[in-house]
Amino acid sequence: KDAGVALKQAKHFYRGQTVRFAVELAEAARDRMQLLSRLRTAFSRDRLQLHYQPFIRLHDGAVIGAESLLRWKTEEGHYIPPDQFIPIAEQSGMMVALGDWVITTALRWRASLVGDVDDDFRVAVNVSLMQMREDDFAEKLIRCLHSQQLKGHQVEVELTESIAVDDVTTVKQKLKQLRDHGISIAMDDFGTGYSSLSILNRLPIDRLKVDRSFVSGHAADEPRFSMAHTIMELAANFQMQTVAEGIETTNQRHAMGQTGCSEGQGYLFSKPLDEYHFREFLRQSHAHP
Ligand code: C2E
Ligand code: MG
Ligand code: MG
């Protein structure tokens, strides 16, 4: 059993290397199994939710879209952060079903806003590696788009650099299929991955999301916002739009505006909100833009 644990670790994280069994390994593996089984139960009991965080147009403060973010509220009432449970769902293969649910829920939510928001208000969904590897990923998304009677420009797919470079040829073909239906593609957490810049040439990407470490994190300070600035110029050269992630202060908002960034997202405007509070947020922002 111990050898099995070490072998599994080696296969997942240390290909081609040796892993020596340690008690902590077994404990970590057991914790993950427990979390996975709790996650399965939570999913089957409909205890997962999506929250939505607004995208703000920086020059006039208009609410022009939102990113959907998974939330898991346990029976005890506390939230387990997606950074903890998504990797586990990924490893177990559960992420495909979970991702389908996210897409259906987010698109249904967007459809429910018709009349309350502008036509081009978009909902963004995060897509994981396992979903992207599914042959019919694009078809499923397009089917959902039609069944909710949405237009392509009302939906955006966010993927990270590591997903984009997994298998560039097939990823490209899937993204093109989405694009042909008007769905836009955003590169998430841009600047933190290890992809080469040529990926921007090879894939159809509409928007770069500047990682929050360059906006409000440690990398924003030295030298002041120069990374963010460089990314904005890069995006402009490739005719891509930009979103600054993690704007927390008015200072950062103005700095991002000055770098030529068109949109922002962050606690300064709002945390991710459940459906009810998002509607409240929309009402208030109509009243006091
Ligand atoms: P992400 O896609 O980059 O999402 C942005 C994260 O930054 C969210 O964390 C959001 O709550 C947080 N954030 C937003 N504004 C601020 C700010 O001003 N300051 C700070 N410090 N943080 C801010 P969250 O919700 O914990 O999600 C973490 C990550 O989990 C996401 O990063 C995404 O990679 C993943 N994730 C969330 N939902 C899904 C999903 O439905 N599917 C997949 N595949 N991944 C998801
Ligand atoms: Mg995202
Ligand atoms: Mg991000």
Q: pLDDT tier at 195 (50, 70, 90 boundaries)?
A: confident
Of 40-49, 138-147, 169-178, 190-199, the range with the lowest mean pLDDT is 190-199
pLDDT at 287: 81
pLDDT at 9: 84
Cβ of 119 below 6 Å from ligand 1: no
Rounded mean pLDDT, 86-101: 94
Cβ of 21 below 6 Å from ligand 1: no
Taking ligand 3, which is a single-atom ion, which protein residues have CB atoms under 5 Å away? 188-189, 245
pLDDT at 254: 95
Q: pLDDT tier at 81 (50, 70, 90 boundaries)?
A: very high
3-state secondary structure 145-157: HHHCCCCHHHEEE
Of 151-165, 216-230, 239-253, the range with the lowest mean pLDDT is 216-230
Ligand 2 center–CA 276 separation, angstroms: 21
Q: Give yes or no for residue 180 having a pLDDT over 90.
A: yes
Question: Which atom belonging to ligand 1 lies closest to the Cα atom of 81?
Answer: 26
For residue 207, the cross-strand partners are: 186, 241
Tens digit of pLDDT for each residue in 118-154? 999 999 999 999 999 999 999 999 999 999 999 999 9
Q: pLDDT tier at 194 (50, 70, 90 boundaries)?
A: confident
pLDDT at 58: 96
Q: Tell me how far apart the alpha carbons of residues 98 and 131 are, in angstroms, rounded to a whole number.
A: 9
Tens digit of pLDDT for each residue in 235-251? 999 999 999 999 999 99
Question: Which atom belonging to ligand 1 lies closest to the Cα atom of 127?
Answer: 44
Cβ of 102 below 6 Å from ligand 1: yes
Ligand 1 center–CA 7 separation, angstroms: 32
pLDDT at 261: 96
pLDDT at 29: 86
Q: Give the closest residue to 269 by CA, choosing from 49, 48, 64, 50.
A: 64
Ligand 1 center–CA 126 separation, angstroms: 9
Q: pLDDT tier at 227 (50, 70, 90 boundaries)?
A: very high
Rounded mean pLDDT, 151-165: 95
For residue 62, the cross-strand partners are: none
Closest Cα to atom 20 of ligand 1: 246
Q: pLDDT tier at 219 (50, 70, 90 boundaries)?
A: confident
pLDDT at 103: 98
Q: From the CB of residue 98, how many other CB atoms can be counted at a distance below 10 Å?
A: 21
